[in-house]
Amino acid sequence: MDPKSQRVKLNDGHFIPVLGFGTYAPEEVPKSEALEATKFAIEVGFRHVDSAHLYRNEEQVGQAIRSKIADGTVKREDIFYTSKLWCTSLLPELVRPALEKSLKNLQLDYVDLYIIHSPVPLKPGNKFVPKDESGKLIFDSVDLCHTWEALEKCKDAGLTKSIGVSNFNHKQLEKILNKPGLKYKPVCNQVECHPYLNQSKLLEFCKSHDIVLVAYAALGSQLLSEWVNPNNPVLLEDPVLCAIAKKHKQTPALVALRYQVQRGVVVLAKSFNKKRIKENMQVFDFELTPEDMKAIDGLNRNIRYYDFQQGVGHPEYPFSEEY
């Protein structure tokens, strides 16, 4: 089957391609790499691109998308682009301006999906990560239901086709789902998900509410010291993943991506390396057996690479709940 046509229907009627291209890279990586990698990803068949205001690359990612439209590779409607509302803009009055800023950087008329990046509100202002003199995050207090209502208005205004959330636990999702006067359900919850943190309970919860789970760090993250706990084992070196990969004559990365596709999870893969970007498209070329799936399920060990330790202590810190 043409990999470009592998999409799932969202609860608002739009479709999301099951494989997405991740674009986050640390600050020291030149932004031109995001431009070149995104162009190449679209050339080799990626139709879903994931970025965020926080990544400070929406100018380049937007440029890449527009250049692939201009040269006839794709039409705007072929691309599914996700942006994210950063934690310093969760106050309802800041939501639309934040999305408009992303659209301006992207030079696009709309995004396909706009999601709340994380449920932990931070002090509004110019700093992405506001900290006090002792280096602690400066939190804010916002009712996420009010943030959600502002997202609903953005959808009604046509600035985004769909709206969703990221890094929410099931209680936070329930809060939105049970909100009096809810107009639109979240279409997705984008969370860390890989064989070491397979999110089976959250996945079941999401499926029961027709919410798509989108997996980030599906390859075990970039192990970046700023955000990630460095003491965790390296996923792609896992012996079980490696053995399954060998059996199928594939790579451990492809097995980790295929695992998500087969359990109904939309999966993101970040790479700025041409060989690996191309390789990741091969996720549609093979199938894992039920035994393989079971063996990979057995690797779950609640290892969270992006544990966001700095957020501990905020009442909306999402990862204290079991799921």
Residues that bind ligand NAP (CB under 6 A): 22-24, 50, 117, 166-167, 190, 216-222, 236, 251, 253, 268-273, 276, 279-280, 306
Q: Provide, rounded to whole angstroms, the least separation between the CB of residue 271 and ligand NAP.
A: 3
Catalytic residue among 55, 114, 196, 306: 55
Return the number of the residue (156 or 320) whose C-beta is nearest ligand NAP: 320
Contacts of 27 (CB under 8 A, 6+ apart): 56
Q: Which amino acid is at 249?
A: K
**β-pair partners for 9:** 15
Would you call 155 helix, strand, or coil by DSSP?
Answer: helix
Instruction: Kindly state the DSSP code that residue 20 receives in the 8-state scheme.
Output: E
The phi-psi region of residue 270 (left if phi > 0; otherwise alpha if psi is between -120 and 50; otherwise beta) is: beta
Q: Provide, rounded to whole angstroms, the least separation between the CB of residue 114 and ligand NAP.
A: 12
Return the number of the residue (102 or 166) whose C-beta is nearest ligand NAP: 166
Q: Provide, rounded to whole angstroms, the least separation between the CB of residue 52 and ligand NAP.
A: 7
Q: Does the annotation count 216 as an active-site position?
A: no
8 A C-beta contact, residue 165 and residue 189: yes
**Alpha helices (H) in the chain, listed in sequence order:** 31-44, 58-70, 92-106, 144-156, 170-177, 200-208, 239-248, 252-262, 274-280, 290-297
The full length of the chain comes to 323
Return the number of the residue (53 or 161) whose C-beta is nearest ligand NAP: 53
Q: Provide, rounded to whole angstroms, the least separation between the CB of residue 68 and ligand NAP.
A: 18
Return the number of the residue (29 or 93) whose C-beta is nearest ligand NAP: 29
Residues serving a catalytic function are: 55
